[in-house]
Structure 1
Amino acid sequence: MFGRLFLLFLIVPFVEITLLIKLGGMIGVVPTIALMIITAVIGARLVRQAGFSTWMEAQRRMAAGEMPGQQICEGLVLLSAGVMLVTPGLLTDIAGIALLLPSVRRKLAAQLGKRMVVQTVAGTGPMGGQQGQPGQYREHSTIDGEFERKD
């Protein structure tokens, strides 16, 4: 995993710089910089709107007593989209815009949800909840009681 991330952080900046230089040569430096600023501003607004609707859906599910696992995963995808859109570059802007598309976001969130383990805590203390299996969302109940330790 570390090797893949290292390659990603090594290759992406080189590709971005190459694309920006080529675009700057085609349309000019000032329009290229303006394009980067415009995509960052518009992207931030779109992420904010999508994040707000995802937050409201998560609130609705929690009010109904359901675990908002899909919405949590969509929130993580939206966070990634926001980071990509405010990062200068064409490749990251395209990837960020793709993550904002509802169909792409939902599919990616579903894949992420299959790999996540959601742990809910019912009661107080470190042993209050139980850990679920990847992709499994469960709720737990609490049984009140007292105990006395005798050694």
Structure 2
Amino acid sequence: MQLFILLFPFFELFTLIELGDHIGSLNTLFYVLATFFGGLTLLKQQGLSMLKQAQAAQTGQPWISSRLLLDDMAIGFAAILLMIPGLLSDISALFILIAPLRRKLASMLGQKAPEPTTFYDKKADKNFTVIEGEYEEKDRG
């Protein structure tokens, strides 16, 4: 795994050089800029979406689906991958952006999140009662 991380930038550079040989250097530059700005736009959109969901969870809707949160985080990660110049990261981002493939990948990695996750806000519950007390352990022997 460490070797893959070390060699990943070289693979990305190699794919960009090969792409430049096939479609030309100017078209490759446009491709890199388009994927960068596409990823930037997607990241901004996902950030706003996650912010709205967090606000909704804090105000009127005290629940948020962990699967929805996981999907938003995966799409944000795909946006970051799109911003990295290279074909391998772009192909990986496309796999993550396709919803059925994203769920299949999550199940393959063993990261299935439980469907409903609820958050409780005790400030919203006016009937919240605290009962305090002390206890003492007695030896049964």
Q: Which interval holds the TM-score relative to the shorter structure?
A: 0.5 to 0.7
Question: Does the CA contact (< 8 Å) of 2:39 and 2:81 recur in 1?
Answer: no
Change (3 A) 1:71 1:59: farther
1:71 aligns with 2:71: no
Change (3 A) 1:12 1:85: same
| 1:51-88 C-alpha deviation (Å, 9 max, x unpaired) | 55566566666744334211221122122112211111
Give the whole-Å Cα distance in 2 for the aligned partners of 1:49 and 1:139.
24
Give the whole-Å Cα distance in 2 for the aligned partners of 1:96 and 1:47.
12
Whichever residue aligns with residue 12 of structure 2, its letter is E
Name the larger-Rg structure: 2
Whichever residue aligns with residue 7 of structure 1, its letter is L
Whichever residue aligns with residue 101 of structure 2, its letter is V
Displacement of 1:49 after TM fit?
A: 3.7
Deviation beyond 3 Å, 4+ runs, structure 1: 46-65, 105-111, 135-143, 145-150
After alignment, is 9-18 or 55-64 more displaced? 55-64
Q: Give the 3-state SS of the residue equivalent to 2:17 in structure 1.
A: helix
After alignment, is 66-75 or 139-148 more displaced? 139-148
Aligned length: 126
Question: Gaps (5+ residues) in structure 2?
Answer: 123-127, 137-141
Change (3 A) 1:58 1:104: farther
**CA RMSD of superposed structures (Å):** 3.3
1:39 aligns with 2:39: no
Question: Does the CA contact (< 8 Å) of 1:69 and 1:113 recur in 2?
Answer: no
Larger relative contact order, structure 1 or 2 (CA cutoff 8 Å, min sep 6): 2
Displacement of 1:19 after TM fit?
A: 0.9
